[in-house]
Amino acid sequence: MTFKEYLQTSVSALKRNRSRSVLTILGIVIGILSIILVMSLGKGAQELILSQFSGFGTKSVIVVPGRQFEGPSLKGVDSLKDRDLDSLRNKGNVPHGETVIPMVFGSDVASFESETFKVSVYGASVDLPKVFDIQAEEGSFYTDEDVKGSASVVLIGSKVNEELFPNGNSLGKRIKVKNRSFKVIGILPSKGASSLINFDDGVVMPYTTAQNYITGTKYFDRLLVDVDIEENLDQTVEDVTRTIRDNHNITDPEKDDFQIVNQADLLDTFGTVTTALTYFLVAVAAISLLVGGIGIMNIMLVSVTERTREIGLRKAVGATTRNILMQFLVESVVLTLVGGIVGIICGAVLSFIVYLIIHAMLPALGWKFIFPIGGAFLGIGVSSAIGLIFGVYPARQAAKKSPIEALRYE
């Protein structure tokens, strides 16, 4: 018999028992559907997490003050100061550093007339838009003169603008933060979180202003070094590390009172973690495939028993043991393959529905629908393999039957 004939015979046999065939493949459908859904949502989550860094390029180096937590307090949180900023801006120390941005973080309640809103405060230099790819949607950014003079000016995020100025017209108005009046000179566009910083619910001001009027400190919470090209990233990390150690008279690396965070390494780490989590969930979902495979084996064994006389008749008219083996094996593979295809389609549809729900409920999240092509191929391959593995035993049982005993079977 040719493969086409085996296929036609198998399809014909499965059609005669449609209800049983549908129930048999249900376990495979659920398993493949789960895999497609998990992989699609996993890829979407991975894209979402990595997109948080999209506004902050992979050629940036972040200098964080302090060592790891030691007891109840963080050691050396005030370790980054003006001297470090000046040294990092010196091309002789960091030749590949294009821009160095000091940042100061804080939070307080902002108010305008009767409206109030808790805001995150970001103090930075005028170069902030270069690294974070964010410009004023209305108005303008502050200038170097504003930084030098600790000017009381701010740019407000889109969410702050909505909360404090529900009627619009915020430019030129004065808001209060920590009992000090600040002139609104610009409004930032809505961008969501960028590199784990959400400017939408924040206010941006010169770092000197933030230090003098908000935090009351003389140190920086971050120093961001933007590298000219990504190939020079590792060299810049070395240069920055050496420069700050020299400034702080540190000769033993274990006594560093700062940490260097490489943005590219963060992306790799997040990508690895999310991928590992996705495949772990896929492995959990694949358990249902095992259950489905066992179900197929049981149903095929029942089918062998029910069709004992048919097997005897086929052998009596010349069918070989190999013909019977192949017939039942092909039936098993067809069952699982159909289940795999239906599972892929259902998984894709369900994933798209989940995407629509997330997009409708949280449009600002920026969730993307991603169909896992690799998952589809995996589903086809796994379902076919299950059909082969769990179909071998029933097929062998059918092929071993004696034609005489089979014909006598009642």
DSSP 197-210: EEGGGEEEEEHHHI
pLDDT digit of tens for each residue in the chain (410 aa)? 566 766 777 677 667 777 777 777 787 888 888 888 888 888 887 777 666 555 555 678 888 887 654 444 344 477 899 999 999 999 999 999 888 999 999 989 999 988 899 999 999 999 988 878 788 888 999 999 999 999 999 999 999 999 999 887 889 999 999 989 999 999 998 876 555 578 888 999 999 999 999 999 999 999 999 888 878 888 988 999 999 999 999 888 888 888 888 766 666 666 677 777 777 777 776 776 777 777 777 777 777 766 666 767 776 777 777 777 787 788 888 888 888 889 899 989 999 999 899 888 877 667 788 888 887 887 788 778 887 787 777 777 766 766 666 555 55
The structure's pTM equals: 0.59
- Interior/surface letters 207-239, b for 16+ CB within 10 angstroms, e for the rest: bbbbbbbbbebebbbbbbbbbeeeebbeebbeb
What is the per-residue pLDDT across 77-97, written as a single tens digit (0 to 9) for each? 778 999 999 999 999 999 998
- Do strands 222-227 and 174-177 pair parallel, antiparallel, or not at all (unpaired)? unpaired
Q: Quote the distance between the C-alpha of residue 115 and its chain's center.
A: 36
Q: Which two tokens stand for residue 194?
A: 């960028």
**Residues paired with residue 109 on neighbouring β-strands, in sequence order:** 118
Report the alpha-carbon distance of residue 124 to residue 188 in Å, rounded.
Answer: 15
What is the per-residue pLDDT across 182-216, written as a single tens digit (0 to 9) for each? 999 999 988 765 555 788 889 999 999 999 999 99
Angle between helices 373-399 and 321-361 (to 10 degrees): 150
AA identity, residue 97: G
DSSP 126-172: TTHHHHHT---SEE----HHHHHTT--EEEE-HHHHHHH-TT---TT
Cβ 146 vs Cβ 153: under 8 Å: yes
Place of tokens 């202003």: 209
AA identity, residue 326: M
Report the alpha-carbon distance of residue 155 to residue 204 in Å, rounded.
Answer: 5
Q: How many residues does the chain have?
A: 410
